Amino acid sequence: MRLWQILIVVALLAGLGWYLMPDNKEQIQYQTQSVSRGDIESVVNTAGTTRAVVTVEVGTEVSGLITELLADFNDDVTQGQLIARLDDRTYLARLRQSEADVVMAKANLEQQQANLLKAEAELSRAERAHQRQQQLMRQGLTNQSELDTALANFETARAQISVARAQISSAQAQLLQREAQLEQAKLDLDRTQIRSPVNGTIIDRQVDIGQTVAASLSAPTLFTIAQDLRQMQIEADVDEADIGKLAEGQQVRFQVDAYPNRQFNGQVSQVRKAATNVSNVVTYKVIIDAPNQQQLLLPGMTANINVIRGQQTDVLRVPNAALRFRPAGAANPAASQPDPAAELIRELGLSSDKASAVRRVFADFTSGLQQARSASANNPMTDMRAQMQQLRQKLNNELQLVLSEQEYQRYSEINAQRRQQRGQGDSGTAATVWVLDSKQQPKAINLRVGLSNDEYSEVLSGELSQGDKVIVRAVRVE
143, amino acid identity: N
Q: Quick one: 271 and 178 in the same domain?
A: no
Q: What pLDDT shows up at residue 418? A: 67
* pLDDT at 425 exceeding the cut of 70: no
The answer to whether residue 259 sits within a structural domain is: yes
> Are 53 and 232 within 8 A, CB to CB?
yes
Residue 156 pLDDT > 50, yes or no?
yes
My answer on whether 364 and 290 are in the same domain is no
Cβ-contact 116, 168 below 8 angstroms: yes
Note whether residue 338 is domain-resident. Answer: yes
Reported as a single tens digit per residue, the pLDDT across 38-59 is 988 888 899 999 999 888 999 8
**Torsion angle of alpha carbons 119, 125, 128, 129, nearest 10°?**
-110
Distance of CA 100 to the CA centre of its chain: 55
Among 312, 345, 361, the domain-final residue is 312
% of the chain with per-residue pLDDT over 70: 87
Per-residue model confidence as pLDDT tens digits over 97-120? 999 999 999 999 999 999 999 989
Arithmetic mean of pLDDT, 138-167: 87
- The answer to whether residues 407 and 347 touch, using CB atoms and an 8 Å cutoff, is no
Total tally of structural domains belonging to the chain: 3
- pLDDT digit string, tens, across residues 174-192: 999 999 999 999 999 999 9
Asked if 295 and 356 sit in the same domain, the reply is no
| pLDDT of 424 | 45
Do 291 and 383 belong together in one domain?
no
What's the chain's average pLDDT? 84
**Residue 200 within any structural domain of the chain:** no
Same domain, yes or no, for 342 and 270? no
Angle at 451 between CA 449 and CA 454, to 5 degrees: 105
pLDDT tier at 335, thresholds 50, 70, 90: very low
pLDDT for res 90: 92
Q: Are residues 245 and 286 in the same domain?
A: yes
**For residues 448-473, average pLDDT:** 85
Evaluate whether residue 267 is within a structural domain: yes
State whether 113 and 184 are in the same domain.
Answer: yes
Does some domain include residue 66? no
Residue 117 sits in the same domain as residue 173: yes
Higher local confidence (pLDDT), 236 or 418:
236
Q: What is the pLDDT of residues 374-395, one digit of tens each?
A: 776 666 556 666 777 788 888 8
Q: Is the pLDDT of residue 85 over 90?
A: yes
Whether residue 402 contacts residue 357, with contact meaning beta carbons closer than 8 Å, is answered with: yes
Domain at 239, CATH number: 2.40.30.170
- Is the CB of residue 222 less than 8 Å from the CB of residue 194? yes
- Percent of the chain topping pLDDT 90: 34
Q: Which of 165, 190, 215 is where one domain is finished? A: 190
Residues 354 and 272 in one domain: no
Structural domain contains residue 346: yes
Least confident residue range of 197-201, 208-212, 334-338: 334-338
Contact 41, 458 (CB under 8 A): no
Question: Which residue range(s) make up the domain with 127?
Answer: 88-190
pLDDT at 336: 46
Q: Torsion over CA of 94, 95, 101 and 104, rounded to 10 degrees?
A: -140
Rg, the chain, Cα only = 46
pTM of the model: 0.58
CB 194 within 8 A of CB 82: yes
Does residue 157 fall inside a structural domain? yes
Looking at residue 33, what is its pLDDT?
A: 87
Query: Is the same domain home to 350 and 408?
Result: yes
Which residues, at least 6 apart from 407, have a Cβ–Cβ distance to it below 8 Å? Answer: 348, 350
Residue 38 counted as domain residue: no
Neighbouring C-beta atoms of residue 226, cutoff 10 Å:
20
Q: Which of these three, 424, 445, 469, is where a domain ends?
A: 424
